[in-house]
Homo-oligomer: A and B are copies of this chain.
Amino acid sequence: MRATLDFLLYDWLDAAALNGRPRFAEHSRETFDAVLDACERLARERFAPYNRLSDTEEPRFDGERVHLPQATHEAMRAYVESGMLAAAHDYELGGMQLPCVVEMAARSFFSAASVSMSGYAMLTQGNANLLLAHGSPRQKQVFARNELAGRWFGTMCLSEPQAGSSLSDIATRAIPDGDDHAADPLGPRYRLKGHKMWISAGEHELSENIIHLVLAKIPGPDGRTIPGVKGISLFIVPKHLVDAEGRLTGERNDVALAGLNHKLGFRGTTNTLLNFGEGRYPVRGQAGAIGYLVGAPGQGLACMFHMMNEARIGVGLGATMLGYAGYLAALEYARQRPQGRPVGPGGKDPAQPQVPIIEHADVRRMLLAQKAYCEGALALELYCARLVDEQRTGTPQAADDARLLLEVLTPIAKSWPSEWCLEANSLAIQVLGGSGYTRDFPVEQYWRDNRLNMIHEGTHGIQALDLLGRKVVMEGGKGLALLAGRIRDAVARAAQLPALAGCAQALGEALERLEQATRAAWSSGDPVVALANATPYMQAFGHVVLAWIWLDVATCATRGEPDDFRRGKLAAARYFFRYELPKIGPWLAVVESRDTTCLEMQTTWF
Contact = CB atoms under 8 A, between A and B. Distances in A.
B455 A527 contact: no
Given A262-B440, A339-B165, A597 B571 contact: yes
Interface string A411-441: 0000000000000001001100110111110
Given A227-B350, A434-B455, A590 B571 contact: no
A601 interface: yes
Interface string A504-515: 000000000000
B433 A165 contact: yes
Given A339-B166, A367-B606, A579 B597 contact: yes
Contacts of A434: 159, 164, 197-198, 261, 455-456
Nearest to A599: B361
Contact of A368 (B364, B568, B571, B601): B601
B331 A606 contact: yes
Interface string A580-605: 10110110011000010111111111
A164 to B, nearest CB: 6
A439 B272 CA distance: 14
A459 interface: yes
A493 interface: no
Interface string A126-164: 000000000000000000000000000000000100111
Contact of A460 (B430, B438, B606): B430
Contact of A343 (B348, B358, B531, B567): B531
Contacts of A371: 606
Contacts of A601: 364, 367-368, 571, 575
Q: Is the interface of A mostly helix, strand, loop or mixed?
A: helix
Nearest to A341: B166
Nearest to A360: B461
30 contacts: A159-B434, A164-B434, A165-B339, A197-B434, A261-B438, A261-B440, A263-B438, A264-B429, A264-B437, A335-B603, A343-B528, A358-B603, A361-B598, A362-B532, A362-B535, A365-B535, A367-B606, A368-B601, A434-B455, A434-B456, A437-B452, A565-B605, A571-B597, A571-B600, A571-B605, A574-B597, A575-B601, A579-B590, A583-B586, A586-B586
Given A343-B531, A362-B465, 6 more contacts: A166-B354, A168-B350, A343-B528, A430-B461, A437-B455, A578-B590
Interface of A: 159, 162-166, 168-169, 197-198, 227-229, 261-265, 331, 335, 338-343, 348, 350-351, 354, 356, 358-365, 367-368, 371, 426, 429-430, 433-434, 436-440, 444, 447-448, 451-452, 454-456, 459-461, 464-465, 527-528, 531-536, 564-565, 567-568, 571, 574-575, 578-580, 582-583, 585-586, 589-590, 595, 597-606
